[in-house]
Structure formats: structure tokens, C-alpha cells
A and B are shown apart, each in its own frame.
Chain A
Amino acid sequence: MSAMSRRDFLKASAVGAAAGLWMPSRLLAADAKERVAVWVVEGTDLPAMVARGIAEAGGWKTFVRAGKGAVIKPNVAFNSGPEQGANTHPALVRAVIEGCRAAGASQVLIPENPLADFEEICAKSGIGEAARKAGAELRLLNKAGQFREVTIPQGRKLKRAAVAIDVLDADCLVNMPVAKHHGGATLSLGMKNWMGSVQDRGFWHRNDLHQCIADFSTFLKPTLVLADATRIMTTNGPRGPGKIERPNQIVIGRDPVAVDAYCATLFGKKPFDIGYIRIAHEMGVGVGDLDQVNVVRIKV
């Protein structure tokens, strides 16, 4: 199957829908509503887990187009080490960068609007070294010119936002959040991770944070979500230090609500306990009810 970008996916859906109308058949009708899938890979060898999980989900060539760029958005906002769990594990970031490059990505970019000194963050988190070794560019977003204002038509509270141009124009966009407790929003998972790609986070806090997080996800659809649940901070998030638990899992999926919903259960929460998961499900961003999600478990 040839590589598919987000834009191509929409075109293909349109063609597929037209074909379905033109050629009705029992086979097409039966597969018309395929269940959303989430691949949960459990193990301790992080690069092997990424490789196996991506292979099960369709392979890198499904997500990355040869000759086009890829953008990765990990959690890289805090000046702390990999074991604290505030940032995405650098070994995972490295594995994803290498996977994108192997699939033919022309460049891999990691843009971030962080919460502390970026050079210190990159050094302490290990993501700086991971990017250097694997051939990706870390880009600090600190000028208004790096953002573009967009309207969010389905937004109820968040109707416009200045979003990182790198993220908007990404051909392949991979959301790589770390699953962790969050003092303000209960949990910080995938949908909340986009707050590091916008210019004015303050607006979200002032105008119903959970609604804004869901609103934004009606607009921005990643190609892929790969959540780091190898070691999760369960208290004192998002910075910590806090109590660390070790599910030793990574969670891969195309549906950001489903991925977030599964990750919420790792903290002993029901998905709809988290405001933005419930709202995003209601707004049709994705499937937050795990009964409707096909959770594929893989052990490495």
C-alpha cells in the first residue's frame, strides 16, 4: 500500500465513498464501519516495541511519504531527566525518527514552544542527543512569525488559534505524548500535547481548558499518535517529581481520542472522567468509548 498523507486520506475517503455508492456490494457494506484500533505494545526494549507496533499498525510507509518531511511532537517542555516521566522517553523519540527516515522522509522536525530554557531541556531530557544521533532538527518556537492564525470552525470556545506553521504544513504529523498526571487538567495525554504547538496557551486556560483541548482536536488531525506509557508519573504532574508506575507500554493509534481513552485507564480512570476525552467523543473527534475500540495487545 503506497504511503498516504493526511490530505490524501481525505481524497481517498471521498473516492472510496463514491465507489461505494457506485458499486454496492455485501462486502463493502460489511466493512463500511471498521472498528477503530489501538495497538498496545508491552515490553522493555523500546526500539523493538516501536518497530513491532508500527508494523502491526500498517508499517512506516503507511504514514510517511518518501521525499516528504515528517514532524514529530513529543513532550519536551520540562527541564528534567528521562526517568522523571515529564518528557517523552528519548529512546522512543529516536526510534520514531529513525523509522521516518528509513521510510524515506526528507527531513524530520521537532518543533516546540516549551516551558523553560530549551537548550537545558534538550540536554537534560536526552531528546537533544536522540535528535542529533538520529538526524532530526529540534526547533524552538519563540517568534510570532513561526505561527499562523487559523480558524477552528467546530470550536465552541476556541474558535481561532495561532498554530506552529511547521505543524500545520506537516506532511506526516506524529504526536508522541508522554502519559502523565496533570495538576490542572487531571491527565496530560495526546490531545493536550498540542498546547506546545500553539502561541497563546493562556487563552485555553482562561476559557474552559477541557473544551479548548477538544476544540483544537476537531481541527488538527495527526497522522499517527504514539503515546509513551513506559513509565508514567501518577502524582505531581506535569513537571513532577511524582510517583512513577511502570506499565511498560506504548500505545499507537490513528484515533487520538481512542489513544487518550486507553491511556486514561492506566491511571485507574474511566475515559469519560477526563473532561476533554468526553467532550471530544461527543463532538465526534474520535471514539472515547473503549467498548467500541479494538485494543490489539502485543508483547515484545
Chain B
Amino acid sequence: MRRTAVRTGALVLAVLLALQVFPWPQAAACLPAASPFVTGSALLARSVVGFAALPALVVALLAIWRRRWFCRWLCPSGFLAEMAGRLHSRSAHGWNRWPAFGPWIAGLGFGSALIGYPVFLWMDPLSLFNGTVSALRWPVTALALPAAGLGVLILFSMRYPGAWCFRFCPLGAVQDGLHRMRGRRSGSSETSGAGPDESRRRFLLLAGAGAIGAGAALLWFQRGVRRALRPPGAVEGGRFAALCARCGACVRACPQNIIQADSALAGRPGLYAPEVRYGTLKTHPFSVGGYCADGCNRCNQVCPTGAIRSLSLEQKRKAVMGTAAVDRSLCIAWNTAAYCMVCDEVCPYQAVRSVESGGVSCPEVDVSLCRGCGQCQVRCPADPQPAIVVHPAGSV
């Protein structure tokens, strides 16, 4: 069938985009950014949009033209959901009587985005798909959340085929809303009895939902999340956890494999937002990887929402991820008067000062110069753990 062929092609393209096979770095952001829900939220939250968001405009126009054409012909998650739904011998359409949660999710999402903390980006089907596929690498370091989310979506669709798409999906709801902008013409028979009063009441309810969403987001996120090392150019802690769509693009893009999911559950968790974890001399005995390389700004190029700001290489070099600090009880120079200063040797920013103590040169970090790139931490020969460690910005 023609539709199946097109949907398969779209699925393959989505997989390729998520696997980041295309040489153009911004292509990695295209799949999640193609969702008007994601891009719209990002625009509301940060008023910034990159070229990768142009597909979202196309999808939005498609929705205005044909209400669910994207869902039926292109959406990879929807394709998987539909395939899963067909596995059922008897179709369970009891969900027809369920209320539509999708518009509420979208409303809450946009409302919270308005104040800078979009709360439901992780539920976007394109983001879920991207995150699941991009997590497929060894070692599996990335976001279990989108894989679980997509899994739940598929299992749910086996039991209630179509329920996700038409009752929960925020992207679907956005398409419905966009289509309604066409006005009360012949297309109105598709909607269920939407007269002018009805639609105004619905709009007010959704606006109210948006306000509640904004308030909730403000309460939760503005108090900040657990301090963790974030990719260079990341917006500050609480906003980062909200603005990140958990799409996994940065995790996969990082050539050093140092971006991983923040799976900590203590201390107001960042809820699987990406964090940076540097290697040590034990995990990286040779000069390959383990730190934030001076000549790389891949993560800055692939973030669809701008949670990791789009920075040029020069800008990224100035971005402060954290600050290194020397533990004098572990440092072999301070503690045992050994000849070392390897941290000073490898620092690209001359941020390690030399202090004479015990007859040898000992390191001290110049916090005004340190960017937190982690080279010192990876190269420190102190055993069993490095004596110089990068701490998240603001926590030293």
C-alpha cells in the first residue's frame, strides 16, 4: 500500500536522523525539532529558533491543511503505535468515550513554556522516538526514559489502538488546534460539535490549564534541580531540566561520550536530563577521550530546544561548565611532596597556578580562568581517584 510505503520511508528517515548519520551536525536536531509542540514550546520559552526548526513549520502547515495527515503518513511513533494496534485480533475502541487529555497536556506544556519552564516536552512522540533510537549504542549511557516512554506508548497501543494518538499525544492535540484555526468552514464536521461558545469555553479552559501548568512548573523548577555538571552552554539548572526534551541528541553527538543521563534520584533530581561525567586515568589511560575537548562544540549544534545553547566554537571555549578544585589530601604534590603538576601540563587555559610547598611545585586552580573542561581530572595520576575534580558551576 502506498501509505505503508511512505510511512516506512518516514520511519527509516527518522531512524537515520536519530542515529546522526548525516554529516551536517544540525541534522541531529531535526527530528525532535520537527514537532511544532517541541519547537513551539522552545520558542515560547526562549524566543530563539534555529534552522533545524524549519520542518516544524512544514508540519504545522500540514496540520492546517489536513488535520492529522502528519500522524497518518509521517509520524514514526504513530507508525509503530498503529502496527502494534493491528496485532490485536479484536479492536478495543472503548477509549472513544475517554476525554481528550492531549489538549490539556499541550495547554499545560505551552503555558509552562511561556514562563520558561516547559513541562511536557519529554512526552512529545518525535522526542521519544529520537531518544529511544539514539540511546542504542554501547555502552548504553543514554536516556532510558524515552525508551521506556516509547515502550509504554507501543504497549498501550496494543491494548487500545489509537488511544495514544487521539487522546494523549500533545503533538496530535497541537495539530487539532492548528487545524481549527482554519475557521468554521467545511472542515468543521471533523470536530465534534464545536460551536462558537463551545470553542471559546474550551479555549478558556485550556488557557486556565496553561496557567496552572505554568504555576506548577514555576514551583518545581525555579527552586533549581540537583547540582550536576551540564554540557557547555547549558541554561541554568532548573530551566535546563525543563527545557530539555530528553531527545538524546547531545548524548549521541558527544565524540568523547561524556554526556550521560542524570539518573540520580536524590536532591531534587534533574529527571534524566543530560549531565557530564568525566573519565579518570583508569578509565581513559591514553589520550583518547574522557574530557570536554577544546576543539569541539557538537552538543551546541544538536540541541533542538536550546537547552544547550547554540554556540560557536569560540563562544563555547569561553563557556564555563564548572570549576576544578584540588583536594590537597589526595594530591601527590601537596600530600607527599612528589614532582607532578600534570594538571598544569594539560590545562588548555593556564588555569592551574604553581605554588611552592614542601620543596616541590603544587597546583592551585585559578577560578577566574578555569572552564571546567575536565582534562586535569582525566590526567591526574593520583591513585585511586583523581585529586583534582571539576565541580558544577557555583558549587565551589
Contacts and interface: CB of A to CB of B under 8 A. Distances in A.
Contact of A206 (B332, B346, B354, B375): B332
A198 B296 CA distance: 28
Contacts of A114: 287
Nearest to A199: B285
B281 interface: yes
Nearest to A241: B350
Interface in B276-290: 281, 285-288
A239 B348 CA distance: 9
Contacts of A141: 286
A209 B381 contact: no
A118 interface: yes
How big is chain A's contact interface, by range?
A: 20 to 34
Nearest to B284: A142
Contact of A185 (B286, B339, B346, B381): B339
A184 B345 contact: yes
Nearest to A202: B381
Contact of B344 (A113, A116, A143, A183): A183
B338 A205 contact: yes
- Dominant secondary structure at the A interface: loop
A206 B338 contact: yes
A253 interface: no
A200 interface: yes
Contacts of B341: 183-184
Interface string B331-343: 0100000111110
A201 interface: yes
A208 B345 contact: no
A236 B348 CA distance: 13
B295 interface: yes
B383 A206 contact: yes
A280 to B, nearest CB: 15
B263 interface: no
Contacts of A184: 339-342, 344-345, 361
Interface string B354-394: 10000001000000000000010001011100000000000
18 contacts: A79-B294, A115-B346, A116-B346, A120-B295, A142-B288, A143-B286, A183-B361, A184-B340, A184-B341, A184-B345, A201-B342, A205-B332, A205-B342, A206-B332, A206-B382, A208-B338, A239-B345, A239-B347
Interface of B: 281, 285-288, 293-295, 332, 338-342, 344-348, 350, 354, 361, 375, 379, 381-383
Interface of A: 79, 113-118, 120, 141-144, 183-185, 199-203, 205-206, 208-210, 236, 238-239, 275
